[in-house]
Homo-oligomer: A and B are copies of this chain.
């Protein structure tokens, strides 16, 4: 087992939290900013976000949404228009009181989310049924003051996309909310190789102002949940607050039904905690800034035939659409380079030295399994491609198996308490806030969601024994 002093990172198996914090810095994913709770996304970390962003943006556009950009600053009075909304976000707001050298008459809130500024525009843009649906999305920064900040997971400023839509009726809005949850699921599973449970938030856990919130709950390798994408049906709450109405075909004036949905840079934290191990990150190929690192060996590894072979291999990989990086440093030992790229989670390492070259083959080391194999240089790119595709699938399977293995059914409070200590629990829940509060006080666990694909079931609440609500078991867990 690697020691902390060898890689500079505490092993995951010893202290998950220390491992995470140290790894984020050591792998050069992010730094802490000078203001408490802020984050500097370094090239390696930002690239993961960019790759995720491109995949998500393509799906958002393909389903008819247009990108837009709304201002960062929201007048305080706008935020107050939806009562639950302002109550939910008030404690977390950053407020601009001075601008252009003068004290502002009305303070400006730095957006924690944009419903309160988008609602006003929707009300101006929408006149008749012909204008519906309105389907927009924006990529931006938002600010929520965090008391216990953590890089990627809870930062006072984070990057995300927020989709906002307006529809003629509830059915259309519900369809939209599920559409967004659907492409979040697709990106989470197919791109981030994370296997989430998708379900409805219980009333106490909903977005402030929402009628219905659907979330994705992925399991990290310490058994905790990470909410990785949420989609909200806002009913007519915001439409009433911001006067978003339309004339129907027969001339009646009706309120729109609106939705909003978001996925953020905390997904990068999810990728780290879903796949990483004692030796560091393991990046799913679709999100890896470098899918392959070519490490040249030997005293003259940065020149001559080895360097030439490495160069042409890079071109071949590039032509195959594979992102690669060449490490031809001569001032550090090969072992140092191997450790570094393992720590940074590069899926495959190609070792190329004079002896390999003479034999017409290379050594390919697999980050996940630790296995090594000899492969002929000729036709290497397609062979690498196959391995990357297989790894993408393996990581998703591994994530699903891990979550399923750490999810149990509980029919008593004791079982529930025991289960949330190490993973997820499916239990019947009466829906009484007192029961949820008791569990939270005693274990920090909360109802994560009511799985959309849950088997219909009723019976006594696992906490108090009263008849259950929700019609199926609720997923409980401790969460980030």
Please tell me which stretch of A42-50, A179-187, A232-240, A422-430 contacts chain B, meaning at least 4 of its Cβ atoms lie within 8 angstroms of it.
Answer: A42-50
> Quick check: is A303 within 8 A (CB to CB) of the other chain?
no
15 interchain pairs (CB within 8 A)?
A31-B124, A34-B74, A34-B75, A35-B71, A35-B74, A40-B70, A40-B121, A46-B66, A69-B159, A91-B100, A92-B100, A93-B101, A94-B99, A95-B96, A97-B97
B95 touches A68 (CB 8 A): no
The docked-state distance in angstroms from the alpha carbon of A47 to that of B331 is 47
The docked-state distance in angstroms from the alpha carbon of A145 to that of B96 is 12
Number of copies: 2
Which residues of chain B come closer than 8 Å to A75, judged between CB atoms?
Answer: 34-35
> Quick check: is A86 within 8 A (CB to CB) of the other chain?
no
A67 touches B43 (CB 8 A): yes
A72 touches B143 (CB 8 A): yes
The docked-state distance in angstroms from the alpha carbon of A395 to that of B180 is 40
A90 touches B99 (CB 8 A): no
Known: A34-B120, A47-B67, A75-B34. A98 touches B97 (CB 8 A): yes
The chain A residues found within 8 Å of chain B, CB to CB, are 31, 33-35, 38-43, 46-47, 49-50, 66-75, 78, 90-101, 107-108, 110, 117, 120-121, 124, 130, 136, 140-141, 143, 145, 147, 156-157, 159, 331
B50 touches A67 (CB 8 A): yes
8 shortest A-B CB distances, which residue pairs?
A: A100-B145, A43-B66, A38-B71, A41-B69, A33-B71, A95-B98, A94-B99, A97-B97
Q: Distance in Å from the Cβ of A423 to the closest Cβ of chain B?
A: 32
B46 touches A67 (CB 8 A): yes
Chain B residue, CB-CB nearest to A70: B40
